[in-house]
Amino acid sequence: MENAPRPLIRVVDDEASLRRALVFLLESAGWDVATYASAADFLTAWTEPAVPGCLILDIRMPLMSGLELQRTLNDRNIHLPIIFLTGHADVSIAVQAMKLGACEFIEKPFKDQVLLDAISQAVRHDLVRHEEYATWRALRERLEKLSPREMEVARLVAEGLPNKSIGQQLNISERTVQVHRLHLMEKLSIHSAAELAQMMLRAGHKERHEA
């Protein structure tokens, strides 16, 4: 994605020695890294939803566990790919984490390459998500140029209704529908009902997750 910020790997672990080791490993591999000693520290510092990357998260931490942080992030519509680290083989926790959307679960001690491969995959996934979100935002911004009446006409045109039917539904003349249709096509820089239908479909009309 052109002019996109460099991916950032966020590390949340209460063990200082592991944080230092991960910073050394990840920076040596060319990643930008930010570390946090607790889930609360991470939540307090969270200000950059537009920066792609992933979250390396210790499953067992005091006060707020990694699983609790994952639930909090989901509640806040923060959808960073999460790679869980644990020093304890715990199948039930792993299953919960995966059901909540974690992309990987790695047991300590781990091989460096296993973690690096998991990070690469998670970041690729997040970059695709950011690109899709940017496309969605651009489409929504174009549609927001329309007046409320033009948006009503646009929805009905996208559904395949002829001008006469649209006029009957909106209680306006067929000629007025034609005028609105011309204006909205010009505003959106499109030339056909098929293009409009595709744009409306891609933009959607429901809440999207934040980037």
More confident residue, 123 or 3: 123
Model confidence pLDDT, tens digit, residues 83-96:
998 876 666 777 77
> From the CB of residue 88, how many other CB atoms can be counted at a distance below 10 Å?
9
Residue 48, pLDDT > 70, answer no
Q: So what's the pLDDT on residue 90? A: 67
Q: Any idea which architecture 145-203 has in CATH?
A: Orthogonal Bundle (1.10)
pLDDT at 198 over 90: no
Contact 176, 140 (CB under 8 A): no
Of 129, 112, 130, which Cα lies nearest the Cα of 31?
A: 112
**Can you give the residue ranges of every domain in the chain?**
8-131, 145-203
pLDDT digits (tens, 9 = 90+) for 57-86: 988 888 888 889 999 999 988 888 999 988
Q: What pLDDT is recorded for position 2? A: 52
Q: Which residues contact 95 (CB under 8 A, 6 or more apart)?
A: none
pTM to 2 decimals? 0.71
Q: The domain 8-131 is classified under which CATH number: 3.10.20.90, 1.10.10.410, 3.40.50.1970, 3.40.50.2300?
A: 3.40.50.2300
